């Protein structure tokens, strides 16, 4: 079998290939062979950079967690601008419009991967846990700015928003949901505590 072309950044190219397989074919189809075939490289490339396939998958998830944290930084900078509903709708659509929903399926599908990730994420589901923390931090900042009620329970609102957005985006086969469905859920969940003019 040909080894393919030289990889610029082998880890990132393998991660991107894994995401394409995951999004297109689901977690059951995600194998080391499927990833390397999708990346156009020899199977040994993956094993040169990772101890085994579960190590590769754990690093994929951790890399996507870092991306979620970067989204959180941008969301915090947006506090006090635009509308709270608009900011939340945008970040939830971006988060779940990406590979996050497929990674959650992967985590549910692979027991060994969950066990390995418990070393760095002892509770919750990686990506969803970080996303809930991101939303809670943003809501707390908006509360400080007076755009949410002083008694708004951000630690309840954040996971409620994450769970609702995840359910709206969960059907991989139906295509992306109508953005208005996400906005409606956000408005319903936080409508009673928003204090914007």
Most confident of the following: 99-103, 121-125, 180-184: 180-184
Domain 1-49 indexed as CATH 3.40.50.1580: no
CATH topology of domain 61-190: Tetracycline Repressor; domain 2 (1.10.357)
Residues facing 4 on adjacent strands:
41
Mean pLDDT lowest among 1-10, 89-98, 130-139, 175-184:
1-10
- pLDDT tens digits along 157-180: 999 999 999 888 877 566 677 889
pTM over 0.95: no
Q: Could you tell me the two tokens for 101?
A: 């929903």
DSSP-H helix ranges across 145-197: 154-169, 179-190
Domain layout of the chain by residue ranges = 1-49, 61-190
């Amino acid at each position: 079998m040909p080894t393919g072309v030289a990889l610029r950044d082998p880890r990132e190219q393998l991660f991107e290939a894994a995401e394409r397989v995951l999004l297109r074919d689901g977690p059951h189809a995600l194998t080391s062979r499927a990833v390397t075939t999708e990346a156009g490289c020899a199977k040994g490339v993956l094993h040169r950079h990772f101890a085994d396939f579960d190590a590769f998958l754990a690093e994929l998830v951790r890399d996507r967690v870092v991306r979620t944290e970067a989204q959180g930084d941008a969301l915090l900078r947006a506090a006090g601008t635009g509308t709270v509903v608009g900011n939340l709708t945008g970040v939830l659509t971006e988060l779940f419009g990406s590979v996050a929903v497929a990674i959650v399926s992967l985590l549910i599908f692979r027991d060994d991967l969950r066990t390995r990730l418990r070393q760095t994420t002892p509770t919750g589901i990686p990506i969803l846990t970080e996303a809930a923390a991101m939303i809670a931090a943003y809501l707390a900042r908006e509360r400080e700015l007076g755009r949410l009620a002083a008694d708004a329970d951000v630690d309840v609102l954040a996971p409620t928003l994450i769970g609702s957005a995840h359910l709206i985006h969960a059907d991989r086969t139906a295509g992306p949901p109508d953005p208005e469905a996400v906005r409606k859920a956000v408005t319903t969940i936080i409508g009673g505590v928003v204090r914007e003019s």
